[in-house]
Structure 1
Amino acid sequence: MDEIYFQSLLDKYRKNEISAGELSELTAAVNTGVYDETVKASVQASLESGEQQWDKTRQQVVFGEILRQIEAEAPVRRIMPEKRRWLAAAAAVLVILTIGWYTVNRLKTGQVRDNQVAVQDVAAGRPGAVLMLANGSKIVLDTAGNGTVASQAGVDIVLNNGALAYEHGALDEAGAEALNTVLTPRGRQFSIVLPDGSKVWINAESSLRFPVQFSGKERQVQLTGEAYFEVAENASQPFKVLVNNKTEVLVLGTSFNINAYAGQPRAKATLITGKVNIRSGKAAAVLVPGQEASIAGDITVVDNADINKAIAWKNGAFDFNNTTIEELAAQLERWYDIEVTYDQHISQIPFGGKISRKVSLKTLVRLMDGTGLDFRLAEGRKLIITERK
């Protein structure tokens, strides 16, 4: 990759115009260390240009937190020279935090304050789930080792480095009747390869129910919460997702995201590739790539949907662009397994920015300190969001 192309990727990233493929290229290039000076110049220019609107004290806080995270994740690493420490921090800022914690224009911008009560930090969520077999028995996958964790109807259920796969030999009709469920509690997410080879990433506080073997005219699964699907193509056996027992998403071979948490006013289905048919009551719609369906009895189709935002969780990030405080609070509650309270009069204020889902809650709170709102941790795994006075 030449310097000009690398710089173009940096510019796209800063403007939130980068594609998933380009982001992978950028991340890989940053990790080589070849472009350290370019990264350093870009981050420094952004911090000083007003895109961030942080003063020198704020910059030091951010870099300090990033360095602390780097060292915490690699406790046996030798201490880096100061130059390498700064460049590592700059690279981490690039990957962890999109330049621009912007918004809250209706609120006054406050100064950096150390107003956090000395409470225990909350770790970020991690891979984990509970597998419920057809007989009702449960297996906690967080603590299970690699290998076969169960067998049903001629199918071996295999765990391999945090991902579950169903491996079967000859078709057993009993497999179609044996239903398994993967449940992810708050603070967990998980991935699974279904019996037909389809891949599913399941977000926190969600569940996916499916047969041990697919038979008949269609492949049907049941979803609550949120999941991203990459469906194996099989024209003779369409794939159907039954969402909250009321909405059907029918596909042949495609990739898409469904967000349908209980309590949300509308469910969302975002199509990445392929084609899907959606039915909800008497309403129906067909999506093509780049479209998103907003579902609540009726179906509203949005063109040019923000695909990167829809699948950011699957790629290890929070994308809060055009997200209300109410929606932000729900995401944080699910991922950190906490309770979030906020002033109702700020619940619909649009937020913005991106941040890694790997950071601890205390780090996330400090990074949000420059937004014009107060984010305060309290005892009992609570986060309180208020308007800054």
Structure 2
Amino acid sequence: MENKRDPFANAIFIMKYLRGELNSSEEEAIIGWLNQSKANTAFLQTIQDEEKLKAELDFYASIDTQKNWQQLVEKSQPENRIRKLWPNPSIFKYAAVFLLVALSFLAVYVSKKQPNIALHPAISAELPEIKPGKNQAKLTLADGTELILDETKDGILRANDQIKITKLNGRVVYQFMGKPAAGRALEYHTISTPKGGQYQLSLPDGTQVWLNAASTLRFPVAFTSSERQVTLIGEGYFEVAKNKKQPFRVTANAIIVEVLGTHFNVKAYSEEGVTRTTLLEGSVKVNKAAEGLILKPGFQAITDQEAKIKTTTADLDQVIAWKEGYFQFDNEDFNAIVPQLERWYDVEFTYPPTIGSWKFAGAIPRNTNLNQVLQMLELSGSIKFKQAGRRIMVEPKE
């Protein structure tokens, strides 16, 4: 095949075949490809046989290749108004999941030693390639010095009698060296990710923090008081080191999340108007103004600008999908999908209001180029895209 190094594009091409959307030249190409090898014919037969597809998925699940894709298969059937990132009939659903789970398998099984096929995914020729986000952030020290972490070599960044800061493999580690000298004020540092960036941080108490795109965390270089307090803008996932004598507090959009030692996610983008605190493990207390509540694992606290707090059950896989390296949309409004794509790919979407309420479901790795993500959305059969630089225009399909 032409895209030997891009099995995702090959998957798009095969899905077009299954949907009957190939043009005449593409049909001739795939017929020629099928005639070249019995293995090619067997492959297409497999992805049109639901039981065989399930068996393939079971095999990948047994070696824990990507358990999250298997979880997608196990979800209940969506309502008709939901636009899947794969076609609606169950056989096509399994085919799309299989193709995406087994990208490496597809590259070997379909592409190895096979003749070229000209692939023409729906929009790849029209949209310039936009790369996904990556590990990039800026670290601002107490004296105003700015370190661009993605341009800084691994190793010790700063060291004194109070702290040592080390960069290693896309992660910044703070180590507490001892109490500051008498009369020395406690210093605060800030780490910020741009659109298209993410970063991991180890705080001086051992707490691990993952920052999503367009996010900022301000923190003391040493936790020497009776509490450990940080301030978050944007989204962060926290695995807090246990210390009953020093509660850990996250301030975000006028709320305070208080913990002793636990795993939780805080999403606090000001433009979204709400702050979502989701607990995965342990216990947290969410406070805003005079109101507060204790959150249990598997639940999410939602606070708005009116100082109200409400709770709901949470899809934990979806909440931390960004940390695990993929987008997961569970019957999600297009209005909710767009900000995620805009922050990760540093682009701007424009679309008519009617599209905003349309729902989509599926999952896509975050290391996927944007044009491939848009191809998957186009395969829902409901929308199409045009591009001008980093501006993406969305229109309904006629």
> Is TM more than 0.5 here?
yes
**Residues 9, 26 of structure 1: 8 Å contact kept:** no
Structure 1 355/113 Cα, relative in aligned 2: closer, same or farther at 3 Å?
closer
Among 163, 168, 172, the residue aligned to 1:160: 168
Q: Please say if 1:212 is aligned against 2:210.
A: no
Q: Please say if 1:364 is aligned against 2:377.
A: no
Q: Please say if 1:248 is aligned against 2:286.
A: no
TM-score (norm 2): 0.72
Residue 83 of structure 1 and its aligned partner are, at CA, apart by: 7.1
Structure 1 139/51 Cα, relative in aligned 2: closer, same or farther at 3 Å?
same
How many angstroms apart in 1 are the aligned matches of 2:132 and 2:265?
A: 22
Q: What fraction of aligned residue pairs are identical, expressed as a percent?
A: 33
Q: Which amino acid aligns with 2:201?
A: I
Structure 1 278/234 Cα, relative in aligned 2: closer, same or farther at 3 Å?
same
Q: Please say if 1:142 is aligned against 2:150.
A: yes
Q: Which residues in structure 2 correspond to 1:162-241 (within 5 Å)? A: 162-172=170-180, 177-241=186-250
How many angstroms apart in 2 are the aligned matches of 1:267 and 1:12?
A: 40
How many angstroms apart in 1 are the aligned matches of 2:370 and 2:207?
A: 33
**Residues 234, 269 of structure 2: 8 Å contact kept:** yes
Note the alpha carbon deviations across 1:219-277, whole angstroms, 9 max, x for none.
00000000000000000000000103x10000000000001111113210000000000
Match of 1:38 in 2: none
**Residues 225, 261 of structure 1: 8 Å contact kept:** yes
How many angstroms apart in 1 are the aligned matches of 2:106 and 2:148?
A: 30
Q: Which amino acid aligns with 2:310?
A: T
Structure 1 339/154 Cα, relative in aligned 2: closer, same or farther at 3 Å?
same
Residue 55 of structure 1 and its aligned partner are, at CA, apart by: 12
**Residues 129, 188 of structure 1: 8 Å contact kept:** yes
Structure 1 198/129 Cα, relative in aligned 2: closer, same or farther at 3 Å?
same
Q: Which residues in structure 2 correspond to 1:1-389 (within 5 Å)? A: 10=57, 26-27=64-65, 50-51=89-90, 53=92, 80=108, 82=110, 114-115=122-123, 118-151=126-159, 154-172=162-180, 177-244=186-253, 246-296=254-304, 297-303=307-313, 305-389=314-398
**Residues 201, 227 of structure 1: 8 Å contact kept:** yes
Larger gyration radius, structure 1 or structure 2: 2
Residue 49 of structure 1 and its aligned partner are, at CA, apart by: 9.3
How many angstroms apart in 2 are the aligned matches of 1:322 and 1:28?
A: 21
**Residues 154, 175 of structure 1: 8 Å contact kept:** no
Q: Secondary structure of 1:269's partner?
A: strand
**Residues 124, 372 of structure 2: 8 Å contact kept:** no
**Residues 117, 377 of structure 1: 8 Å contact kept:** no
Structure 1 66/8 Cα, relative in aligned 2: closer, same or farther at 3 Å?
closer
Match of 1:18 in 2: none
How many angstroms apart in 2 are the aligned matches of 1:384 and 1:113?
A: 18
How many angstroms apart in 1 are the aligned matches of 2:67 and 2:339?
A: 34
**Residues 386, 393 of structure 2: 8 Å contact kept:** yes
Residue 84 of structure 1 and its aligned partner are, at CA, apart by: 6.2
Q: Secondary structure of 1:368's partner?
A: helix
Q: Secondary structure of 1:327's partner?
A: helix
Q: Secondary structure of 2:150's partner?
A: coil
Residue 151 of structure 1 and its aligned partner are, at CA, apart by: 3.0
In structure 1, list runs of 5 or more residues that go unmatched. Answer: 1-6, 14-22, 31-46, 72-79, 87-111
Aligned length: 319
Residue 385 of structure 1 and its aligned partner are, at CA, apart by: 1.9
Structure 1 runs, 4 residues or longer, greater than 6 Å off: 83-86
How many angstroms apart in 1 are the aligned matches of 2:255 and 2:218?
A: 15
Note the alpha carbon deviations across 1:156-196, whole angstroms, 9 max, x for none.
11001110001232222678721000000000000000000
The CA RMSD over aligned residues, in Å, is: 3.4
Residue 375 of structure 1 and its aligned partner are, at CA, apart by: 3.6
Structure 1 29/258 Cα, relative in aligned 2: closer, same or farther at 3 Å?
closer
In structure 2, list runs of 5 or more residues that go unmatched. Answer: 1-53, 69-85, 115-119
Q: Which amino acid aligns with 2:268?
A: A
Q: Secondary structure of 2:276's partner?
A: strand
**Residues 153, 212 of structure 1: 8 Å contact kept:** no
TM-score (norm 1): 0.74
**Residues 295, 301 of structure 2: 8 Å contact kept:** yes
How many angstroms apart in 2 are the aligned matches of 1:286 and 1:366?
A: 42
